[in-house]
Amino acid sequence: MTEERTRAGTYPRYPLVENRTQARIMALVHAEARPSSRGQITEALDVSRSKVSGEVSRLMELGLLAEEGLAESDGGRRSTLLSIPRSAGLIAAIDLGATSIDVALTTLGGEIVARKGEPADIKDGPKPILRRVKEMLGELVEEQGTHPDEVLGIGVGVPGPVEQAAGVLRSPPIMPGWDRFPIRSAFAGEYAAPVFVDNDVNVMALGEHWGGVGRGVDNLLFIKVGTGIGGGIIADGRLYRGTQGCAGDIGHICVDPNGPVCTCGNLGCLEAMAGAPAIVLEAERRAREGRSPVLAEILEEKGELTAVDVGRAAGLGDYEALQVVRRSGRLIGQVLATLVSVLNPSLIVIGGGVSQIGHSFLAEIRSAVYRRSLPLATRNLPIVLSELENDAGIVGASVLAAEGVLTVPS
Amino acid sequence: MTEERTRAGTYPRYPLVENRTQARIMALVHAEARPSSRGQITEALDVSRSKVSGEVSRLMELGLLAEEGLAESDGGRRSTLLSIPRSAGLIAAIDLGATSIDVALTTLGGEIVARKGEPADIKDGPKPILRRVKEMLGELVEEQGTHPDEVLGIGVGVPGPVEQAAGVLRSPPIMPGWDRFPIRSAFAGEYAAPVFVDNDVNVMALGEHWGGVGRGVDNLLFIKVGTGIGGGIIADGRLYRGTQGCAGDIGHICVDPNGPVCTCGNLGCLEAMAGAPAIVLEAERRAREGRSPVLAEILEEKGELTAVDVGRAAGLGDYEALQVVRRSGRLIGQVLATLVSVLNPSLIVIGGGVSQIGHSFLAEIRSAVYRRSLPLATRNLPIVLSELENDAGIVGASVLAAEGVLTVPS
DNA sequence: AAAAATCTGTCAAAACTATTGACAAACTAT
DNA sequence: ATAGTTTGTCAATAGTTTTGACAGATTTTT
């Protein structure tokens, strides 16, 4: 009777669990991100030891859990540790950036098994981009010697607002052709696994909350600073998406009504004044005006500057480069000060390419936030760099999909 | 066996319900704010008809539900409607403003039974204020011919950030002496009911979400504009409080680094530039400068102006008054535009004394928001005035307490 | 080194919870 | 009137969870 619902090569089933208790157990083990004992689960879920034991046995039968060594003794018999084994299945984690594709295979437990990344222009439109994504995923699957059916869930982060119900982008500003494109069905032929789509910054926030500096932090704000600027909000432990899925979209907050034109068409958006292109533009201007020999030299050599170049120059002590970096940090900090008043988070995590530009960038953000926010809200408010760095998107996409397939619908 | 747990004069018990299903039924009936049938409950809760029937019988035994007439027929036997009767017990709803005390008795179902309000200065400190609150509550209880033990829960809204775990204020800017004052225990002698404390604006948001324009709206932003300016956030159907309980505290967002000094000590806070005192100050200045004969006349007569006076003058077509009103609306709208980008709500509700100042105030807020926010987020974003007006705080305090006593701890 | 205490994991019996299906009551529509 | 619906209840059945007992494993105490 139980036998006929055992795994036995019948990939994939969705949802993977059979009842709410199993879902809660899996969610807990997944959330822990390290082996847990039956005792820990019993305590956390507030059900009886025998109940946990029984459901754990069933989950082991299903292949979703495996015993893995013993814990240190706590004054009695040592407890056996449980974890989500590689053999439970894999998650395809896909991170689409404005200029890049990153694809990875991770275990259901969130461990990265293999990954591939390459530059790409999202503006090419959904069909060629998704074709390439599927190629890359196929290569990974092949290289790992697995079968597409072993992929239990697919998580996708995309650089635009996602309507959750349908899993489609809505009016993405930088992604012509993607509006309402049915991303989910793109995988339908080759993969039977369910597809979970969300905004890339939301996904990164999820990743950082699950396995980065934000582990266990109930109210956190993740800010991505790259070509674009965006935010992801974890409120009371859950990702908050907003009505149209564009909550946290802080890149187009107006910081200067007389500022430059933004890609969105408005004037003086944060993104247009503090994002990577703005940093480069401002640095190039100062280089051309002969104010910074260091920047001018790099510009001379390479023909163009990058945000990283500017950061490096600032790190070497170039005054003008430092000013450019600081200006970006200050503007972002000003907006963050407002967000702190509104959201009262207990942690702010800064990620994205520009976040690695140097210490003075973070320092300037911090000083702007602390200067302008209410003392109560900033009293214990760390503002730190992302721990996962380039993996945040991949890890988050994996978490998105894993949580999705491990949830019982009800 | 069941008998001994029946009501029978043993007020109060907390929690009022016996299990999760009962809690869910009561929460649903309470949330509906109008009589529901067993069939509706069955559908909404996804349990069997007989289960609902059984638990409803028990809840009627406990006195928490009562049959109340029949619904229209839906093509068959008419269903009997269930509601929370007055006899189930009462909730004490308390709304402490910066300059006022409002106390009410409501049914557990949220209907206002009786209320009292009077001016008071919160700065007098917790002891005299809470003494007066208890006197007023005692008068209401007496006038209604009830007994203090019939009060099942006490909900309190206070104008400062509230740490939920302890139910105490933390560093309230305008409430000297209230920091960490144990509000809950103030009621301990006379009332056995549990006390639920929260920020006044959060409480108003709760009220508007339960029984005002925000009914059924999952993501809403409630903005109170009075002496102070604050916001309450309903995210995914739940009140979001933030880490220290000061989420939504938008009054001290800096809108002009060169602006006037705020009560909080910083410069150019929204509150200091667009709140009632700012409106009055600006209007008086213009009156004194002789730019507005209308305002000057009122000022002459009464010796001072109020925000309502300014609104009335604006309504009569006085140009200067209108400019003052608009300036406040525009500044608030600018901040709201940011909040819209961050929270992507589906509704903004404006309440508080100043919200009644005239149509041009709301019009200016709307125009500022629509001008500055992303089109996607504002496409279907109504910005409306509070429906509950002066009752928002009372209703919200009742909802806070009712939801509290009807929740099963688990 | 033995005994006591403590923690872990499993099992069967008992307690509890929820659903099913039957039925009578109440209503609409033809 | 009669057929078709919906409602509310009941008893039987099915399912879920806890309880309490017990054996295994490990630390602490004597």
Query: What is the structure's pLDDT at A409?
Result: 63
Give the nearest nucleotide to A53, CA to C1'.
C9
Q: Residue B285 is encoded by which pair of tokens?
A: 């200045």
The reported pLDDT for the residue numbered A79 is 87
Residues B356-400 have pLDDT tens digits of 998 999 999 999 999 888 788 888 899 999 999 899 999 999 999
Given a cut of 90, whether residue A213 has pLDDT beyond it is yes
Q: How far is CA A304 from the centre of its chain?
A: 30
B23 alpha-carbon distance from chain centroid: 23
pLDDT score at A7: 41
- pLDDT of A78 higher than 70: yes
Rounded Cα distance, B55 and A115, in Å: 53
- Do B297 and B337 lie in one domain? The reply is yes
Helices (H), strands (E): how many in chain B? Answer: 14, 15
Q: How confident is the model at residue B409 (pLDDT cuts 50, 70, 90)?
A: low
Give the residue from A71, A87, A103 where a domain finishes. A87
Judge if the beta carbon of A99 is closer than 7 A to nucleic acid strand C.
Answer: no
* H helices present in A144-212, as ranges: 183-186, 200-211
The string of pLDDT tens digits covering residues A191-207 is 999 999 999 999 999 99
Number of domains composing chain A = 3
Closest alpha carbon to C1' of C26, residue: B77
Question: How many other CB atoms are there within 10 angstroms of residue B19's CB atom?
Answer: 12
State whether A349 and A367 are in the same domain: yes
Task: Find, among A90, A134, A141, the residue nearest to A111 by Cα.
Answer: A90
* Per-residue pLDDT at A6: 41
User: Which range, of A72-81, A339-348, A353-362, B103-112, averages the lowest pLDDT?
Assistant: A72-81
**Protein CA B18 to sugar C1' C19 (Å):** 21
What is the per-residue pLDDT for A153? 97
Closest Cα to residue B396, out of B101, B106, B67, B127? B106
pLDDT band for position B144 (cuts 50, 70, 90): very high
Task: Say what the pLDDT of residue B179 is.
Answer: 95
CATH of the domain at B57: 1.10.10.10
Residues B232 and B183 in one domain: no
How far is Cα of residue A156 from the mean position of the Cα atoms in its chain? 10
> What's the average model confidence in pLDDT over B277-297?
92
Spell out which residues of chain A touch residue B244, defining contact as CB-CB under 8 Å.
Answer: 344, 376-377, 379
Lowest mean pLDDT among A169-178, B121-130, B175-184, B232-241: A169-178
Residues B221 and B99 in one domain: no
- Mean per-residue pLDDT of chain A: 92
For tokens 């309502």, name the residue. Answer: B308
Chain-wide mean pLDDT for chain B? 92
**Residues B344, A244: C-beta atoms closer than 8 Å:** yes
Residue A22 pLDDT = 92
Nearest to A373 by CA among B243, B219, B58: B243
Question: Looking at the structure, do residues B267 and B283 belong to the same domain, yes or no?
Answer: yes
Regarding whether B229 and B347 lie in a shared domain, the answer is yes
Detail the protein residues whose CB sits closer than 7 A to any atom belonging to strand D: A 19-21, 46-51, 54, 70, 73, 75-78; B 37-39, 49-50, 53, 56-57, 74-80
In angstroms, how far is C13 C1' from B13 CA?
34
Q: What is the number of other CB atoms lying within 10 angstroms of the CB of residue B190?
A: 14
The fraction of chain A above a pLDDT of 90, given in percent, is 77
The pLDDT > 70 percentage for chain B reads: 97
| Cα–Cα distance for residue pair A93/A115, rounded to 1 Å | 9
First to last CA, chain B: 22
- Angle value at C-alpha A231, between B271 and A330, nearest 5 degrees: 60
Please determine, for residue B260, whether its predicted confidence score (pLDDT) is greater than 90: yes
Q: What percent of chain A has pLDDT over 70?
A: 97
What contacts B338, CB < 8 A, 6 or more positions away? A253, A335, A338
Give A203 to chain B, closest Cα distance, Å: 16
Considering only A87-96, A283-292, B220-229, which range has the smallest mean pLDDT?
A283-292
Over residues B195-207, the mean pLDDT reads: 98
Structure token pair of residue A72:
């240190």
- The stretch B126-131 carries a mean pLDDT of 96
Q: What is the pLDDT of residue A8?
A: 40
Determine the Cα–Cα distance for residues A145 and A137; give it in Å rounded to an integer: 12
- A26 and A175 share one domain: no
Q: Which structural domain, as residue segments, surrounds residue B105?
A: 89-208+392-406
For residue B32 the two structure tokens come to 């509906």
pLDDT band at residue B12 using 50, 70 and 90 as cut-offs: low
For residue B344, which phi and psi values (nearest 5 degrees)?
45, 60
- Is the CB of B246 less than 8 angstroms away from the CB of A344? yes
Report the distance separating Cα A220 and Cα A214, nearest Å: 7
- Give the pLDDT confidence score for residue B174 in this predicted structure: 81
Residue A338 is nearest to which of B170, B338, B379, comparing CB atoms?
B338
Distance C9 C1' – B269 CA (angstroms): 61
pLDDT confidence of B348, banded at 50, 70, 90? very high
Question: Are A273 and A295 part of one and the same domain?
Answer: yes
Residue nearest to nucleotide C8 (CA to C1'): A77
Residue of A229, A342, A373 to mutate when probing chain B, most B C-beta within 10 A: A342
Residue A75 has pLDDT above 90, yes or no: no
Closest Cα in chain B to A368: B254
Q: Specify whether A223 is located in the same domain as A366.
A: yes
Number of H helices, E strands in chain A: 14, 15
SS3 B116: strand
Confidence of residue B11 (pLDDT cuts 50, 70, 90): low
CB contact under 8 Å between A46 and B410, yes or no, is yes
Rounded Cα distance between B116 and B125, Å, is 20
Q: How far is CA A36 from CA A25, A77, A84, B169, B260, in A?
A: 10, 15, 10, 38, 56
Q: Is residue A121 left, alpha or beta, with left meaning phi > 0 and alpha meaning psi from -120 to 50?
A: beta
Name the pLDDT band for A410 (thresholds 50, 70, 90). low
pLDDT band, very low/low/confident/very high, at B27 (cuts 50, 70, 90): very high
Closest residue (Cα, C1') to C19: B48
Does the nearest atom of strand C lie within 7 Å of A407's Cβ?
A: no
Residue B118 sits in the same domain as residue B180? yes
User: Quick check: B254 and A337 CB within 8 A?
Assistant: yes
CA of B350 to C1' of D23 (A): 66
Distance of alpha carbon B122 from alpha carbon B178, whole angstroms: 9
At A132 the three-state DSSP class reads helix
Pair A311, A380 in one domain: yes
pLDDT band at B8 (very low <50, low <70, confident <90, very high): very low
- Identity of the residue numbered B21: T
Contact residues, chain B, for A46 at CB < 8 Å: 410
Q: Is the pLDDT of residue A9 over 60?
A: no
Task: Show which of B87, B109, B124 is a domain's final residue.
Answer: B87
Q: Is the pLDDT of residue B3 over 60?
A: no
**Considering A57, A87, A117, which residue would you say is the last residue of a domain?**
A87
The DSSP letter of residue A163 is: E
Do residues B354 and B245 both lie within one domain? Answer: yes
Within residues 35-74 of protein chain B, the ones with CB less than 7 A from nucleic strand C are 46-51, 54, 70, 73
Quote the CA–CA distance of B102 and B331 in Å, as a whole number: 29
| Residues of chain A in Cβ contact (below 8 Å) with chain B | 46, 161, 170-171, 218-219, 231, 233, 235-236, 238, 240-250, 252-254, 264, 266, 335, 337-339, 341-346, 372, 374-377, 379, 410
Of A131-135, B16-20, B116-120, B394-398, the least confident:
B16-20
Tally of CA atoms within 13 A in the half-sphere of B151 that contains its CB: 30
- Amino acid identity of A153? G
At B117, the amino acid letter reads: G
**pLDDT tens column, B163-186:** 999 999 998 888 889 999 999 999
Residues in chain B with CB shorter than 8 Å from the CB of A245 are 344
Give B79's strand partners: none
Question: Å between A54 CA and D24 C1'?
Answer: 18
B171, A264: Cβ pair inside 8 Å?
A: no
- pLDDT, tens digit (0-9, with 9 covering 90-100), for A223-268: 999 999 999 999 999 999 999 999 999 999 999 989 999 988 889 9
- The string of pLDDT tens digits covering residues A37-58 is 999 999 999 899 999 999 999 9
Within 8 A by CB and 6+ apart from A361, the residues are A311, A325, A326, A328, A329, A354, A355
d(CA B149, nearest CA chain A) in Å: 33
- In the structure encoding, which two tokens stand for residue A260, read together? 């430059």
What CATH number did the domain enclosing B313 receive? 3.30.420.40
The pLDDT value given to residue B46: 87
